[in-house]
Amino acid sequence: MIRVGIVGYGNIGRGVEKAVLAAEDMELCAVFSRRDPEGIKLALSTAPVLHVDEAPRMTDEIDVMILCGGSATDLAEQGPYFASLFNTVCSYDTHAKIPEYLAAVDAATNDTTAVISTGWDPGLFSMMRALFEAVLPNGGTYTFWGKGVSQGHSDAIRRIEGVEHAIQYTVPLGDAINMVRSGVMPQLTTRQKHLRECFVVAEAGADKAAIEETIKTMPNYFAEYNTVVHFIEMDELLAKHSAMPHGGMVLRSGVTGDTLQGMEFSLTLDSNPEFTGSVMTAYARAAFRMANENLFGAKTVFDVPLAYISPTERAELIKELL
């Protein structure tokens, strides 16, 4: 059994908990939090909840630590710190800073293996982009996200004066997807690829027109997109928009000689954090196995053979799935 620890018990941490319990070759040893452990009750497991400060004493009891903190604040510090003590997996997703983060984690590893930036984007989508380009070097790759909730965009709306709550959906545009599938390899603008749909609860007496204008003109978040804003009541928002669906697709159309070839990968997820947790858990298996073979250091999804993430023995994989 692979002995797993979870650091951070938010949505992703709960997703990892489910995935670890579903894995026949893993056991959940402990959940670590910076909050007071007394206040945290696990959804499913009877594993102990401990303060993160207790983690360093448990290097002999935990084979791999799954880091479930956020990229913006937690992981920049936790990633290298935990990699110096344990084999780790994380879902660091600040694309622009990944090389810097990779270097910091790699420098921190200490006869340990850290698989960084797992999940689905970065993660599975990255794998598909690399695979598709390797197989079809002449072509174009397109990534679409959604329909799904973007936490970053939802948060941006919530910071606007007069907004009580908000949920933002990223919606991929069918016309753009069809154009890609047709093989014309279009140059698509940001606006052509995705629509942003916002469900907003305004405070009593707030100026809705002003809120809508602030959303639609917000640089980096909304100004480059066609954005639709719906004002609704809090009970409707909670009833209809509390789930965390997401998904998306990576498409490549390319040519071999003059012949058109198309490759596509897509995810349709009823729970984004649970799926992300499942991917991280599969890569936790890889971190453990690579460390056992002295393949130490920081790794990415590009470095990990698929046999390492599967609970199935290699010989069985070859017999049943090849």
Cα–Cα distance, 24 to 175 (Å, whole number): 43
**CB-nearer residue toward its own copies: 1 or 260:** 260
Q: What is the contact mask toward its own copies in residues 290 to 319, using x (rule: CB under 8 A)?
A: ----------xxxxxxxx-xxxx-xx-xxx
Distances (CA, A) of 248 to 159, 172, 298: 27, 8, 27
User: Mask 208-247, x = binds its own copies (CB under 8 A)?
Assistant: ---------------------------------------x
Looking at the Cβ atoms of 160 and 295, the one nearer to its own copies is 295
Give the whole-angstrom CA distance, residue 284 versus residue 278. 10
Read off the tokens for 33. Answer: 């939090």
Contact 230, 200 (CB under 8 A): yes
Residue 124 or residue 198: which is nearer to its own copies going by CB?
124
Question: Which one among 1, 22, 223, 234 touches its own copies, defined by CB under 8 A?
Answer: 22
Q: Is the backbone peptide bond immediately before 208 cis, with ω within 30 degrees of 0?
A: no
Chain positions 134 to 193 lying near its own copies, rule: CB under 8 A, are 134-138, 181
- Write down the residue that tokens 């695979």 correspond to: 131
Site for its own copies in 96-115 (CB under 8 A): 98-99, 102
CB of 98 to its own copies, least distance (A): 5
CB of 211 to its own copies, least distance (A): 32
Cβ proximity of 51 and 32 under 8 Å: yes
**Integer Cα distance of 52 and 106 in angstroms:** 21
33-72 footprint of its own copies as x/- string (CB under 8 A): ----------------------------------------
Interacting residue with its own copies among 133, 151, 191, 195 (CB under 8 A): 133
Coil, helix or strand at residue 257: coil
Total interface residues for its own copies by CB under 8 A: 67
As a whole number of angstroms, the distance between CA 104 and CA 18 comes to 30
Q: What's the length of the chain?
A: 322
In this structure, what are the phi and psi dihedrals at residue 85, rounded to the nearest 5 degrees? -110, -35
What 3-state DSSP class applies to 10?
coil
Task: Enumerate binding residues for its own copies (CB under 8 A).
Answer: 15, 18-19, 22-24, 95, 98-99, 102, 117, 122, 124, 126-127, 129-131, 133-138, 181, 247, 256-257, 259-271, 274-275, 277-279, 282, 285, 300-307, 309-312, 314-315, 317-319, 321-322
